[in-house]
Amino acid sequence: MKLNDINLLGIDVGFSKSRLTTGIAWSTNGTFGAVKTHTDWERRRQHLPSVTAFSVIAIDGPLVPTGSPDRLVRTCEQVLARGAFQKRCKPGSSHFGTGLQLKRAALETAAQVRHLSSPSPFANAILGDVAIVEAFPNAFLGVLLPDQTFTKSQILRGKKFDWMYEQVVEVGRFRELLAVIGWNAPDLLQRMDAERDHEKRAAYICLLTAACAASGRAEVVGDAASGWIWLPPAILWAAWAVEAATRNLRMIGVGSHAS
pLDDT digits (tens, 9 = 90+) for 30-61: 899 999 998 888 999 998 998 889 999 999 99
Quick one: pLDDT band at residue 16, thresholds 50, 70, 90?
A: low
Q: Domain for residue 259, yes or no?
A: no
pLDDT tens sequence across 231-258: 999 999 999 999 999 999 988 876 554 4
What is the span of the domain harbouring residue 135?
Answer: 3-254
Q: Domain for residue 93, yes or no?
A: yes
pLDDT tens sequence across 201-230: 999 999 999 999 999 999 999 999 999 999
End-to-end CA distance of the chain: 14
pLDDT tens sequence across 145-176: 999 999 887 676 668 999 999 999 999 999 99
Average pLDDT, the chain: 92
Q: What angle do CA 52, 32, 230 make, to 5 degrees?
A: 80
| Region for 222 from its dihedrals, namely left if φ exceeds 0, alpha if ψ lies in -120 to 50, beta otherwise | left
According to DSSP, residue 93 is labeled P
The listed range with the strongest mean pLDDT (89-98, 156-165, 190-199) is 190-199
Q: Domain for residue 20, yes or no?
A: yes
Q: How far is CA 257 from CA 19, 52, 161, 217, in A?
A: 37, 30, 25, 10
Q: Domain for residue 211, yes or no?
A: yes
Burial of 180 (0-12, 13-18, 19+ CB in 10 A): middle
For the chain, where are the E strands, in sequence order?
A: 8-12, 22-28, 31-37, 56-60, 132-135, 219-223, 227-231, 256-258
Q: Cβ–Cβ contacts within 10 Å for residue 65, how many? A: 13
Does pLDDT of 110 surpass 90? yes
Distance CA 109, CA 88 (A): 27
Q: Domain for residue 135, yes or no?
A: yes
Whether 124 and 228 have beta carbons less than 8 Å apart is answered as: yes
Q: Domain for residue 115, yes or no?
A: yes
Count of domains forming the chain: 1
Q: Cβ–Cβ contacts within 10 Å for residue 85, how many? A: 21
